[in-house]
């Protein structure tokens, strides 16, 4: 996987990562791209929720402007004096929401990192509850907001597509996944560090962090949340991003458990080849057709690749 170099600014707003002694309890990572109509409302909502919680003096709001072409960055800079817990990180070029979340999580000062969006869709007033859940459940490393409704654009296509992808991911991860690509989640930063380099630049980063935790036996729990209609224009492309979600699920399973993805196909092809072989021997008087040989050889090849990939995974030091 190709990891892009961080498209970040060298201005004073981009503060270097904190030392262990300077760690906070929570970092809320908020990527922004052309959100001028509502970004300050979202900042105010998150700040009000955190200031009213037990984490009032122990959090930061890391707002990442992903090279917006509107006045988002100017509005955030003007608002900095009004929000002492806000840290602004402007990118020098657009890198995608996944890049923003990856860099934000790496630079986070908090021991718990929260991901959310700035489009008014997620109930960000519930962020303290997500952090509190992790504090009260030490066996859980990530808690995800499971949406009870779908209010995004192209709903007629998104609902069945997400259901299929989620069922596929649940099978590969061998666990039920109520919401695979929710943008609201909290996780322990130290647990996430080995997986941040795997995050793609686009929307499928949320799928990646879910599959990475599940594939490595980290506890992932879900809290039901409402999901509102988006403010502003959606950057989600139904066909392109759905295709990327599927590829990312496969990539994560291949990275952590390739036998789970490849061996069922190999055994199915090999079994089908054996059945066809028996049929050929009976019908053609002990002659074997090309179809039988192709099925058998293909099954053996895929099984060999699965075993080799599993050997590589088990010998790899992450």
Q: Are residues 41 and 134 in the same domain?
A: yes
Range of the domain at 151: 20-256
Please report, in tens digits, the pLDDT of each residue of the chain (318 residues total).
Answer: 333 444 544 443 544 445 554 689 999 999 999 999 999 999 999 999 999 999 999 999 999 999 999 999 999 999 999 999 999 999 999 999 999 999 999 999 999 999 999 999 999 999 999 999 999 999 999 999 999 876 655 565 566 777 777 888 888 788 999 998 899 999 999 999 999 998 988 768 898 899 899 988 999 999 999 998 876 565 555 566 667 767 777 777 788 788 888 999 999 999 999 999 999 888 888 888 899 999 999 999 999 999 999 888 877 655
Q: Are residues 293 and 159 in the same domain?
A: no
Domain total of the chain: 2
What span, in angstroms and rounded, lies between the C-alpha atoms of 187 and 185? 7
Q: Using the 3D structure, point to which of 225, 256, 287 is the last residue of a domain.
A: 256
First to last CA, the chain: 15
User: Model's pTM, two decimal places?
Assistant: 0.80
Q: Are residues 278 and 216 in the same domain?
A: no
Task: With CA atoms as reference, report the closest residue to 241 among 169, 164, 171, 161.
Answer: 161
Is 103 within the bounds of a domain? yes
Report the CATH number that the domain containing residue 149 is assigned in CATH: 3.90.550.10
- Token digits for 220? 């992932």
Q: Are residues 56 and 188 in the same domain?
A: yes
Report DSSP state, residue 123. -
Q: Are residues 299 and 188 in the same domain?
A: no
Q: Are residues 223 and 279 in the same domain?
A: no
- Token digits for 119? 């489009």
Q: Are residues 105 and 180 in the same domain?
A: yes
Q: Are residues 156 and 273 in the same domain?
A: no
What value, to the nearest 5°, has the Cα angle with vertex 195 and ends 122 and 103?
Answer: 60
In contact, 89 and 104? CB cutoff 8 Å: yes
């Amino acid at each position: 996987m190709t990891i892009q170099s961080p498209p970040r600014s060298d201005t004073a707003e981009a503060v270097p990562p904190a030392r262990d002694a300077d760690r906070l309890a929570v970092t809320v990572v908020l990527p922004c791209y052309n959100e001028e109509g509502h970004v300050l409302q979202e900042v105010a909502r998150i700040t009000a929720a955190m200031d009213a919680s037990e984490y009032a003096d122990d959090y930061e709001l890391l707002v990442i402007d992903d090279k917006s072409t509107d006045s988002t960055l100017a509005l955030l800079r003007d608002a900095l004096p009004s929000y002492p817990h806000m840290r602004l990180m402007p990118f020098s070029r657009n890198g995608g929401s996944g890049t923003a979340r990856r860099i934000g999580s790496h630079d986070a000062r908090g021991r718990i990192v929260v991901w959310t969006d700035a489009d008014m869709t997620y109930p960000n007033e519930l962020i303290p509850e997500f952090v509190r859940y992790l504090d009260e459940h030490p066996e859980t490393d990530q808690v995800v907001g499971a949406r009870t409704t779908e209010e995004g654009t192209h709903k007629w296509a998104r609902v069945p597509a997400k259901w299929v992808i989620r069922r596929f991911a649940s099978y590969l991860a061998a666990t039920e996944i109520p919401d695979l690509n929710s943008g609201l989640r909290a996780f322990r930063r130290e647990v996430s560090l080995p997986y941040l380099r795997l995050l793609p630049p686009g929307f499928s980063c949320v799928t990646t962090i879910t599959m990475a935790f599940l594939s490595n036996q980290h506890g992932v729990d879900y809290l039901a949340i409402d999901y509102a209609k988006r403010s502003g224009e959606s950057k989600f492309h139904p066909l392109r991003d759905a295709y990327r979600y599927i590829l990312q699920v496969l990539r994560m399973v291949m990275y952590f458990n390739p036998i789970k993805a490849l061996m069922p196909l190999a055994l199915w092809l090999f079994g089908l080849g054996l059945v066809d072989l028996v049929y050929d021997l009976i019908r053609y008087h002990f002659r074997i057709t090309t179809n039988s040989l192709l099925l058998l050889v293909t099954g053996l090849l895929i099984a060999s690749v699965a075993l080799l990939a599993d050997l590589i995974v088990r010998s790899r030091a992450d």
